Structure 1
Amino acid sequence: MKLRIDRDQFTDAVAWTAKALPTRPHIPVVAGVLLEAGGGELRVSGYDYETANRHTLSAAVHDTGAALVSGRLLAEITKSLPNKPVDLAAVGAHLELVCGASRFTLPTMPAEDYPALPAMPGAAGAVDAAAFAAAVAQVSVAAGRDDTLPLLTGVRVEVDGATLRLFATDRYRVAVRELAWEPVVDTNPTALVPARALHDTAKVLGQVSGKLELSLSDLARGEGLAGFAAGGRQSTSRLLDAANYPPVLSLFPKAANSQARVSTAGLVEVVKRIALVAERTAPVLLTFDGDALVVEAGGVDAARGSEFMDADFTGEPLAVGFNPQLLLDGLAHLGTPTVALSFVDAFKPAVFAPVGADGATDPTFRYLLMPIRVSR
């Protein structure tokens, strides 16, 4: 293998594929990044048996071939290279990397021992890459992080005709986002994708202008995989078993008895300040009455804090407590200057929704948060 490639493109490709590498690999070759040159292209691949990342990019290939080198070491080297073309050459049991005056010789592992990466499943449809990345960021924040409950560590993906629906829960909150997409199959597939892998993939592919292709395979008919492709990059992720996924969409109230509209940024700032006096598991209390909101936290025998802010509230006066971090997570991903908070009462789930410039709530994103009982 011998080739020349653009430094920035190569650095991005290695960094992208290295994200799929395990921290403590059980098999040494899985810690490697596979470089395959041929046909005027270089394909860079990484795989940990759960997630596979591949990036194909143009290169001036002089000799075809493959080399398997330590992925993390290669990633550290490439991001520190000078801004000059990169020359790669496989020489015996080593890979030589030359960039300007910099020269590195890296030991290689047997490329033939590298596991075969899973093939991309059949395409289900396409969606705007940037919109998909934004939707995943909004939803994945609500996914669980307890690996002893793997079912809740995923993002549920549902297709309903021309609508793509994403939602996640950790039992204390639910985030739901819907966006338009272009289906290429008549069926409405569903999948439960690991949230961490989906977030990392969407964040990178969201930087690609244009469409992202989503592929899904049926978990019930064999190995379930989700595939994502955009801008020469491909990623596949093994699906979670969603057979017992809770019907969380039914938790959203059909009607509300009261609603408040508040400055999103203002509420974030106030909650951050007042939460400083809240103990680790203690809630912040939001009290709504007319055109005022009071945010307070702390105990009788401990530090206390409170702050007033303007609010447009309709309904009977209401005092409701929330976990401050979960509250901030929901507010951080609204994307609008104003948030609408809808309530049934102080003990039932509250629903947050973004408010557009026209004053209407956006029905495509909803964040449900369970309240915490507060004794006063």
Structure 2
Amino acid sequence: MEQHTVSFTVPKDDFSSALAWVARSLPSKPTQPILRGVMIEADDDGLHLSGFDREVSTRVHINAEVDEPGSILVAGKLVSDIVGSLPNKPITMRYEDSTVTLSTGSSRFELRPMTIEDYPVLPKLPENTGTIDPHLFSQAISQVAVAAGRDDTLPMLTGVHVEIDGSNVVLAATDRFRLAVRQFSWNPSDSSSKATLLVPARTLADAARSLDPHNNQDIAISVGSGENIGKEGLLGIEMNERHMTTRLLDAEFPKFRPLLPQNHTALASVEIDPLQDAIRRVSLVADRNAQIQMEFSEGSVTLSAGGSEVGKATEQLQCAFTGEPLTIAFNPGYLKDGLAAIGSQRVVFGFTMPSRPAILIPEPAELPEADAEGNFPTPSTEFIYLLMPVRLPG
């Protein structure tokens, strides 16, 4: 087969950022070695970099001076590490005589290319379904993805459940020990759109983390339109010059709404930062992920942990509390995750019994009054983190 020379020069920062974004989605132990590759296509428009492991695809465009157009397939993480380590000078990449040369200043690397003919074709984006503000997307995904399971033998728990009903979207995720639910509005292409999807949580979380915090351009979400929403089994995300797709999970998410308590025997409002600090301190004497006990009463909450050979710690914080005093215990890691996801200065806990799940929500403008039986309805909220308690000792 006739070989073509490929040559281009590209700004280091742009190249490094694009390579890092594509490489982060590549598998470290792929089923086929070719899937470790990043495809670099050089043409009159600049460079198109892409990666695909048959589950997740990524594609990004950057500007470059292309002397000789063509395509190069190289080991993605290796090239990303090399470019990331180079000084901030323009980088020239050249493919000739079965060798890829990377050079800038006095640095020069010679790499073996991968065989382009064996590389899989990237999937096309489905039809656009709607757009969402990037900061809202990032916040909502980070709030729910933390509660998703990581056990691949239970695929229905490794995804984020997505319900689309016109302009309303509900996200939910659970690993059986906690459940996170977030509601928000977006801009649907069709106001009558309805769909239920299960998207890999890890991929969504990576997409949210990789957003440019200075970007204010809406993100386009593509899962099809009309009756074809979700039918391709693919979700596409477009952000600036970056496109990605992921396979949807073919599994049934548990029915989660019956798990959310409607009423509570007690409510507590606590400032989050001092509470997080106190959890970290008292956890120092606890065994790994051993429970943190929280004793709520009027005006205060007392945290305690330990009691083994290492020792015991207690700390008391101010707390606005209404209802029957109670003592409840949580896994400290799950508790800290929930507090970090709240996104407000104070958290409101809703309790029923020490043996039943509690809810954590951002503090509303006004807490509800108790009904005739002394129960408090769940305050109106866009985000709920439901946390299973740990059995109290004794």
TM-score, normalised by the number of residues in structure 2:
0.90
- Is residue 197–residue 230 contact of structure 2 (8 Å, CA) maintained in 1? no
**In structure 2, C-alpha distance between the alignment counterparts of 1:201 and 1:144, rounded to whole Å:** 18
Query: Given that residues 126 and 183 in structure 1 are in contact (C-alpha distance below 8 angstroms), is that contact kept between their aligned partners in structure 2?
Result: yes
Q: Deviations over 1:213-246 (max 9, x none)?
A: 111156974x51111111100111111113x311
Residue pairs, 1:278-289, within 5 angstroms: 278-280=286-288, 282-289=290-297
Q: Does 1:240 align with 2:249?
A: yes
Structure 2 partner of 1:104: 109
| Aligned partner (choices 291, 296, 317) of residue 309 of structure 1 | 317
1:191 corresponds to: 197
Measured in 1, the distance between the counterparts of 2:193 and 2:163 equals 11
When residues 348 and 331 of structure 1 are mapped into structure 2, their CA distance, relative to the original with a 3 A threshold, is same
**Residue 331 (str. 1) matches residue 339 (str. 2):** yes
Task: Say yes or no: does 1:146 pair with 2:158.
Answer: no
Q: Once the 2 structures are TM-superposed, how far is the Cα of residue 35 of structure 1 from its aligned partner? A: 0.4
1:159 counterpart (161, 164, 175): 164
Q: What is the CA distance between 1:112 and its match in structure 2?
A: 2.1
Distance in 1 between residues matched to 2:63 and 2:81, nearest whole Å: 22
Kept in 2, the 8 Å contact 1:353–1:362? The answer is no
Structure 2 counterpart SS, 1:35: strand
Residue type of the partner of 1:234? Answer: H
Q: CA deviation at 1:118?
A: 0.9
Gaps (5+ residues) in structure 1?
Answer: none
Q: Is the 8 A contact 2:289 2:332 kept in 1?
A: no
Q: What is the identity, as a one-letter code, of the residue corresponding to 1:204? A: S
Deviations 1:147-185 (A, max 9, x none): 221210111111122122211000011011122210013
294-303 or 328-337: which moved more?
294-303
1:18 maps to 2:26: no
Does structure 1 retain, via aligned residues, the 8 Å contact 2:102–2:110?
Answer: yes
Q: What's 2:82 paired with? A: 77
Instruction: Summarize the alignment of residues 37-52 of structure 1 with structure 2, pairs less than 5 Å apart.
Output: 37-52=42-57
Is the alpha carbon distance of 1:269 and 1:110 closer, same or farther for their aligned partners in structure 2, counting shifts above 3 Å?
Answer: same
The residue type equivalent to 1:345 in the other structure is M
1:49 maps to a residue whose letter is R
Q: Specify whether residues 99 and 289 from structure 1 end up closer, same or farther in structure 2 by C-alpha distance, changes over 3 A only.
A: same
Using the TM superposition, name which of 293-302 and 150-159 deviates more.
293-302
**By how many angstroms is 1:188 displaced?**
1.5
**Contact 1:133 1:206 (C-alpha < 8 Å) held by counterparts:** no
Opposite residue 239 of structure 1, the aligned amino acid is L
Report the 3-state secondary structure (helix = DSSP H, G, I; strand = E; otherwise coil) of the residue aligned with 1:79: helix
For the residues of structure 1 that align with 2:86 and 2:312, how far apart are their CA atoms? 52
Determine the C-alpha separation between the residues in 2 that align with 1:115 and 1:300.
56
Letter in 2 for 1:303: G
Contact 1:126/1:181 (8 A) holds in 2 = yes
Amino acid at match of 1:240: L
Does residue 290 of the first structure (1) align with residue 307 of the second (2)? no
The 10-residue stretch of structure 1 (232-241 or 249-258) with the greater mean CA deviation from structure 2: 249-258
Q: Give me the CA root mean square deviation.
A: 1.9
Aligned residue for 2:89, secondary structure, equals coil
Q: Given the alignment of the two structures, is residue 349 of structure 1 paired with residue 357 of structure 2, yes or no? A: yes
- Aligned equivalents of 1:300, 1:96: Cα separation in 2: 60
**Alpha-carbon distance in 2 for matches of 1:215, 1:268:** 38
Q: Please name the residue that 1:211 is paired with.
A: 218
**Structure 1: how far apart are the matches of 2:40 and 2:168?**
38
- Aligned pair partner of 2:207 in 178, 201, 204: 201
Question: Displacement, 1:281?
Answer: 5.2
1:181 aligns with one of 154, 165, 186: 186
Question: 2:40 touches 2:47 (CA, 8 Å); kept in 1?
Answer: yes
Q: Distance in 2 between matches of 1:76 and 1:282?
A: 38
Q: Find out whether 1:29 has 2:34 as its counterpart.
A: yes
Does the aligned pair in 2 maintain the 1:132–1:206 contact within 8 Å? no
Within the candidate set 384, 387, 391, 1:366 is matched to 384
Q: How many Å apart are 1:273 and its aligned residue?
A: 1.4
Q: Is 1:229 aligned with 2:238?
A: yes
Identity %: 40
The alpha carbon displacement at 1:211 in A equals 0.7
Once residues 288 and 380 of structure 2 are traced to their aligned partners in structure 1, the CA distance between those partners, rounded to angstroms, is 33
Give 1:300 deviation, angstroms.
7.1
Find the partner of 2:121 among 113, 116, 121: 116
8 Å Cα contact 1:156/1:193 also seen in 2:
yes
State how far apart, in whole Å, the 2-side matches of 1:90 and 1:160 are: 50
- What is the count of residue pairs matched by the alignment? 373
Local SS of the residue matching 1:352: strand
1:190 Cα deviation from its structure 2 partner: 2.2
TM-score w.r.t. the length of structure 1 is 0.94
- In structure 2, stretches of 5+ residues that fail to align are 1-5, 368-378
In the TM superposition, what is the alpha-carbon distance from 1:324 to its structure 2 partner? 1.1
Return the alpha-carbon distance in structure 1 between the equivalents of residues 343 and 70 of structure 2: 47
1:46–1:53: 8 Å Cα contact kept in structure 2? yes
Structure 1: which 4+ aligned runs deviate by more than 3 Å?
A: 217-221, 299-302, 358-362
SS across alignment from 1:83: coil
Name the counterpart of 2:63: 58
